[in-house]
Structure 1
Amino acid sequence: MDEHAFLDGMRAPKLALPGGPRRWIEDSFRLLTEHFGVEPLRRPPVLPGDFVPVGYDGSEAAARELCATMCERMGVPFERVHFSFRLETVSEAAGLFGSAMLDLYVDPDHPVSRGAAPGDLAAVRAHSDRLGTASFEQVDRIIESGLTDLGVDLRPVVQRLGMGEFGAEVVRCLLIASGSDPEQRAERVRAAYESDVRRRPAVGRWLDLAADCPGVAPIPGQSAVLLRSDVLADPLKLLAATSHELSHELLSRAELPWATGPLEEPLTDLCALFHGFGIALVNAAVDETTLDDEWVHTSGYLGEHALAEALALYRFRQHQLVRDGPLLPEWHQALDPEPRARFAARLDDLTGGPPTVLGW
């Protein structure tokens, strides 16, 4: 693969979009407009340089205030969302919780193992390398040392994520054990291992605290947005990640049948863009400073190319509503050079010619 093809892949959608990116974006944008109405399009988009307060210092307190402003912009009650900027610590504790649950699962004398199929227990005993690696005391120590000074009780969050880790490991072991011959089983082990190695830590997570979860009491009407600590120092990433997670809140609470399934994540990116955070999403999609590194840092699911073209559609629909000057807006200068060019080119396509020539 040559360098151009590699970089193009870095900027492309992370998932195949039915009908191609442009058709999928147009169809999904229509659904978002039908649900949320056109009011989000009437407002100017968020300019990161103006939206982030001048005195932003990268502290958790400053980030929490910025998140409150984002909630107001997106119509999400701030008091309904528990924000944390310790996703790494929460994930570590959840991983240990899941591993400790596995030990209870394979203990025939513990209630957790009751009702489990003998074959399932045998698969976990044979194929899980997490047995005997953690304890609930370790989980408690992490919570007490790193998650208790935030004014937010994160124990239910750790437990929910930990139960997810536990369930995922059981499923992984069952898949490995389902191989019909030694070679097939070895291939499943290799694939499961490579999947774990390649999985990059998420920048953010949204969690419905009201959802049913075994052993965890629901908190009606509440959710959690968990963000990595490194976004504190980068307001652009903070805007992009938080707008994405808050879009999960908007779409999940509405229980829209078209907002679930394998394309939920790119749709959530598009929802954040629809609510005005497209510039932040586009500019945060590829970390240009890492292009020469072994790992190029990317964020989001739609990718820079599709986001830039989705932002052009956003502007086209917006201009049809408000006619606020030229179709090619002044704010497009806030985009990074490559997506800025793609944004302008897509506007050309949507209007049938260059906006400056047509006088839009």
Structure 2
Amino acid sequence: MRPLPLVLSALALAACGGETTTAQTAAKPAAAASTQALETRPANAASQTPAFAGQTRAPRVSADVAFDVITVAEGLDKPWGLAFLPDGAMLVTEKPGRLRIVGKDGKLSAPVAGLPAVYDFKQGGLLDVAVGPDGLVYWSYAEKRDGGDGTAVARGKLVPGAAPKLENVQVIWRMTPTIEAGMHYGSRLVFAPDGKLFITTGERSIIPGRMQAQRLDGTFGKVVRVNPDGSIPADNPYVGQAGARPEIWSIGHRNLQSAAINPKTGQLWTVEHGPQGGDELNIPQAGKDYGWPTITYGQEYSGRPVGDGLTAKAGLEQPVYYWDPVIAPSGMAFYDANLFPAWKGSLFIGGLSEKKLVRLTLDGDRVVGEEWLLQDLGERLRDVRVGPDGAVYVLTDNAKGRILKLVPKA
């Protein structure tokens, strides 16, 4: 069987104003799927071996989809999160602290008033945004506090118009404890089918924070599950356990910046940043420990092992899939629409350092193929969403950030 090369056509970016269209075409695959891994570069931790077949370096599998890339909106300052409103307009966060409404025509509103103070420092700022089943807007952000900084989540009622604003703003959750770090805030917001809100966090990067990822008395390096008002669901795994934060769902994560609900199962899937190597795809289960920093793939940026250099240990969960070298994940979406039939069932993940859109082919809970798209853009991809029109929407993360839309090739 011959390999499946992936060829993307050169970008043709219009110099004039208005929408910019780029034709992108994935090469036609061979009659049968290739057994050659898409990733061929040396791993950072070359001596590590996966725990099971197919856990890393999936074969290249092209869906044979030709698409155009349309610039819907531009001029956004480091956009971080995207959510669709019922009328098809979008909410977009800008990391320095602005929330904007983006009309279907791509026009940006004035900054939405009413947000609490945002701590725009290092990796902190205004982060994710979601529209709840109650119609309220939810957002996560870094906030400065006595003793340091941390992630917080708030909600409010959006009042659109020429001067849009949020009313009845409430902070519904705060990360604990508080330390000075400026790093690894996590921060994806995902509503489950039952209306509960999942919040992902990071372990703050620095060693004092890292060592709390597997502890139950704080929320660093965790998946958190709360009711929309911030109260605690009675069926959370640590409710009633002495010394444990009752909002915790799963522990032992590094920095979770990708999260989405699998529409086939209703389960939460996440991707977290690994160290140098070791980005992990997980399906976090209630009360499970995903190992950071006791076990991990990859290594420290110095080249030294993380901790004792273990990749497996009894009682700790293995990732469904991992990358080494990393993709630096941020934002993800399952494709369950009809606009691209060949993509149905795929999982899309944005890449920051690798500047690409990763498409995974799944067989149940297993990754059986990988494809890389949008590499020719040369832009960090911060968030990925599927719109009500079935198009795939992507945020580019830079000082002149854009909202891009992938549609079938004209």
Give the TM-score taking structure 2 as reference length. Answer: 0.24
Between the two structures, name the one with larger relative contact order (CA 8 Å, sep ≥ 6). Answer: 1
Give the TM-score taking structure 1 as reference length. Answer: 0.26
Which of the two has greater strand per residue? 2
**Larger Cα-atom Rg:** 1
Which of the two has greater helix per residue? 1
